[in-house]
Amino acid sequence: MKSPYLLLGIALLLIACAPTRAVRSPVQTLETPSVAATPELPPSSSMPAPEIVVARAAPEVHPSLAQRADVQAFIREMAARHGFNPARLQAVFSRAQTQPSIIAAMSRPAEAKPWYAYRDIFVNDRRIRGGVKFWRTHAAALAEAERVYGVPPEIVAAIIGVETQYGGNMGSYRVLEALSTLAFDYPRRASYFRKELANYLLMTRAEGIDPLALRGSYAGAMGLGQFMPSSFLSYAVDFDGDGHRDLWGNPRDAIGSVANYFNKHGWRPGEQVTIPVSVSGAGYFGLVSRTLSPPKDNVASLQAQGVLPMEPVSGSQAAMLLEFESRNGPEYWLGFTNFYVITRYNHSQLYAMAVYQLGQAIGEQYARSGAEVTPRERLARIDKAFR
């Protein structure tokens, strides 16, 4: 009898000598996408640490304005002085928040631009073409505004063009939130904006408008002409007689309101705005107006000190000497009462000159385009000034 151990050894030897059977790879088909081989893992000492995922902080949520003590005091004041329903104001302010981006915009230092750079922003082909189109579209309203208020179409069109690109950019901030932010979180001018906020609520109540509905600039200016609420209450007009003063969606009301604003600030129909001059000698430098005051000299006195008008003008006409920085050095102009009136819309000589020059360019292009109604001839105004 053979040993069981001998039989076991023979069996193991036969198994070891048997041929190895090949292992087939799986068949690749269109339904089976190829999978890249898994790379060999490096030693644990060289493996990067697992990424730590940090949850992003939730965006900061500002409390509603109604939760603030200073806003509550304002609500009580509006109720006492103007008869507002406190509960309704509470509901309005509970749906509004302050906007920190407005404070950042107001606090940003103003970048002083020379005249030639400032001019390029506003007196360019795009705004000139837009002004001609605006004039053609609203020729009847512009003509009526000139008849009623004495302000020429090119000036009204230029104001709307400079302010909002003819309604293309009237601002994206809620007016209520802009004014509230500046009234309660901008101490430097809080008093002014608190009054404007009060005027805004009075305005929306009078016009039957939801205070949360209107949009404007970060400073609270509104509509095609960018009126502040106090200006709206004082100068906005219902120029189409529909019972509402709509400066957002009704260009006729906007046109009449801008013209009325100029009329109420002393616009003189038919008079010049500004004309170029040459200067000589040394006396003229001290005559340059650096303020926004009405003209105090007259043309004759300025002529005696080396200021020579380059267009006809009455020697008795009140005027001020203006200086602007061009690319080739300073240029000089005489500004008249109507120039000063434009600065009442925006307190800047650069702004007033931009409005004037844009208006001139719009008027000239409008006349050349063969429009039915051309702007008044400049010589006719000059002749009238001599009478």
Question: Rounded to an integer, what distance in angstroms lies between the CA atom of residue 49 and that of residue 144?
Answer: 77
pLDDT value, residue 187: 96
Nearest residue to 232 (alpha-carbon basis) of 242, 241, 220: 220
Domains defined along the chain, listed by start: 65-113+171-264 (1.10.8.350)
Active site members: 163
b/e 105-140 (16+ beta carbons within 10 angstroms → b): ebeeeeeeeebeebbeebbeeebbebbbebbeebee
pLDDT value, residue 216: 98
pLDDT value, residue 22: 35
Tokens of 243: 């019972």
Nearest residue to 93 (alpha-carbon basis) of 179, 186, 11, 1: 179
Question: Rounded to an integer, what distance in angstroms lies between the CA atom of residue 182 and that of residue 180?
Answer: 5
Q: For each successive 10 residues of the chain (387 residues), what is the average pLDDT? A: 46 44 33 33 37 44 88 98 97 97 86 90 97 98 98 98 98 98 97 98 97 97 98 98 96 98 98 96 88 94 95 96 96 98 96 98 92 46 40
pLDDT value, residue 284: 86
Tokens of 313: 């003008």
pLDDT value, residue 109: 66
pLDDT value, residue 236: 98
Contacts of 14 (CB under 8 A, 6+ apart): none
